Amino acid sequence: MSKFREARTERSLSGTWKVLRADEDARRRVADIGLDDTDWLDVNVPGLWRSCDELADAEAVLYRRHLELDRLPEGDRRWLIIDGLCYQGDVWFDGAYLGDTEGYFVEHNFEITQATALPNRHLLAIEANCETPPDRTQKRNITGALQHSDSLDHDLNPGGLWRDIRIEETGPIRIDDLRVLVLEADEDRAIIRVGGVLDSSITANVEILTNVSNTNSIEHTQEMVLARGRNEIEWHIAVENPDLWWPFSLGAQPLYELKVTVNLNGVTSDSKSRRTGLRSFELKNWIASVNGEQIFLKGTNFGPCNIDLSSVSQDDYRRDLTLAKNAGLDLIRVHGHVAHPHFYEEADKLGLLVFQDFPVQWGYSRGIKNQAARQATALVRQYGHHPSIVLWNSHNEPYHYDRSARKQDNLQDSPTYGPLTSLTHQIPSWNRSILDRSVKRSFDKADPTRPSIAHSGVAPHLPQLDGTDSHLWFGWRHGKISDLAVLASRVPRLFRFVSEFGAQSVPHDDHLATACEADDFPGVNIHALSEKFGAEIELISKHTPMTSSATWAEWGDNTQTHQAELIRHTVEILRTLKYKPTGGVCQ
């Protein structure tokens, strides 16, 4: 066998790329090496294509990047890694089609060893597609709140290469899809399940070294015969007397570095690492325990940190999570989307628990079922090592939602017990009965260490009168705030875990004020306030009418006061029900 180098390299392709709005002629030529693209637009990667004004309304964009690579040593392999493309993509390298991608948070890789064996100038071409849903009750893109939200601007397309694109080099064997799950953990011992795929270009005997390190280091060595191709492997590591990871209110957050190295003839072919924490988590009747210690969950919903996820830094996530921690909150629900990995790294360090939504919200087309199941599995494989994540949610509110239709409904008096009286919660539907169960099965199969729920915000219904967590918007959408205590006495099961409640308020924000023409108050731009910023105008006007305020700022104060009063009143009622039956709240 030829010698291959032990030192591996990784090269980022971040920077300036050439882009063009896709049309049929451009699509046919995007991978043409001889195409002159000097007059194409420039865009930064990572980034969204709408950062170019000329592409703000585009639904498909062509990307090209020229690069030079050194000669690849004999025996080595080279890979193209796409960390995040929203939402679908087709990929070419030097004119040859590599394959397609789907899933905005799903990492994809393609081997380019043959194409880059010799030093040369190369071309990477990508067609990226992110269609604006023509019917938001029958969506096909699994983008959750990024394309269908009650607070984000639907006109802003999230399409683009929003995370890094990289070139990675390995030896003959590459570690693909490294998975780490903590099966059990207590003060005496923790068991870590390690798995993945070893992609080998040869048949060979290899040594697999696993190192788990914190203050002490544990090494595990095994030898294995690999066939040429993809080899699925799994093994367990025991850590005696572990330092347990705790939510910040119960203890410290020690983290372990787990590194897997594949050696061939004494030379490293590839290595990868994951940082994890050793802890156990149980959820019984929505009452949580971490490492055997019961905890009353106090949480908040966390939407996209910015309407452009590519622009959010690790410092941004640290700032927001620190604010939540300083407010005494110990649970963050990542609502309707999957955040950048930096979010979960910071949650691990700060000792915050995460209630993670799959990016499926409201109504979807029947055609997404298989793709949704695959992406749920990918979510576990990419993020399952994070100790902060304690719960998977398959679907938020699995019924049809139309922002403009709801506004018309709001002109009528809100139903007192909306969650119970709505037929959408009681009759079977494809989204709730088939899609959600399929996604939940994928979560349960991929991750036996965490609980999962089929959906969020669904009331008890036949034939299984159980329900899940509740969304109780009393004082806003579901009648009067005084009705909340009455409902609690009649249907206590609805109060096991309330994950949405409260009301909207108008923030003091200069950009918002300018866009809504606040200087003309009360004759503000209602359309912008509603369509660009998601304000439920009829409900805000019902509870805090503009006519009761003299200025925009005063009106904002009044909406915030109303919001604060609803939150306080709801939390006070739920605290009186602590563990009887309420296991926590998430505002």
Distance from C-alpha of 150 to C-alpha of 532, rounded to nearest angstrom: 10
pLDDT, averaged across the chain = 92
| pLDDT in the model for residue 417 | 60
* Residue 59: both structure tokens together: 């639904």
- Of 170, 190, 166, 174, nearest in space to 243 by CA: 190
> What is the pLDDT at residue 412?
46
Mean pLDDT of 474-486: 89
Residue 119: per-residue pLDDT: 82
pTM here is 0.94
Rg, Å, the chain Cα set: 26
At residue 410, the pLDDT reads 40
pLDDT tens profile 116-159: 988 889 999 999 999 999 999 999 999 999 999 888 888 899 99
State whether the Cα torsion 160-165-311-146 is positive or negative. positive
Assign domain 173-276 one CATH number from 2.160.10.10, 2.60.40.10, 1.10.3720.10, 3.40.50.300: 2.60.40.10
At residue 411, the pLDDT reads 39
pLDDT at 117: 85
Tokens of 141: 């893109």
286: pLDDT strictly greater than 70: yes
pLDDT, position 128: 98
Kindly state the tokens that stand for 410. 């709001």
Q: Which CATH class is domain 296-400+418-465?
A: alpha beta
- Read off the pLDDT of residues 348-377 as tens digits, 9 standing for 90 and up: 999 999 999 999 999 999 999 999 999 999
**Backbone φ, ψ for residue 453 (5° rounding):** -125, 150
Burial of 1 (0-12, 13-18, 19+ CB in 10 A): exposed
* First vs last C-alpha separation in the chain: 61
% the chain with pLDDT above 70: 94
pLDDT tops 90 at residue 312: yes
CATH, domain range 10-170: 2.60.120.260
Cα dihedral: 534, 471, 145, 286 (round 10): 150
pLDDT at position 390 is 99
Instruction: Please report, for the chain, the start and end positions of each structural domain, with discontinuous segments joined by +.
Output: 10-170, 173-276, 296-400+418-465, 469-587
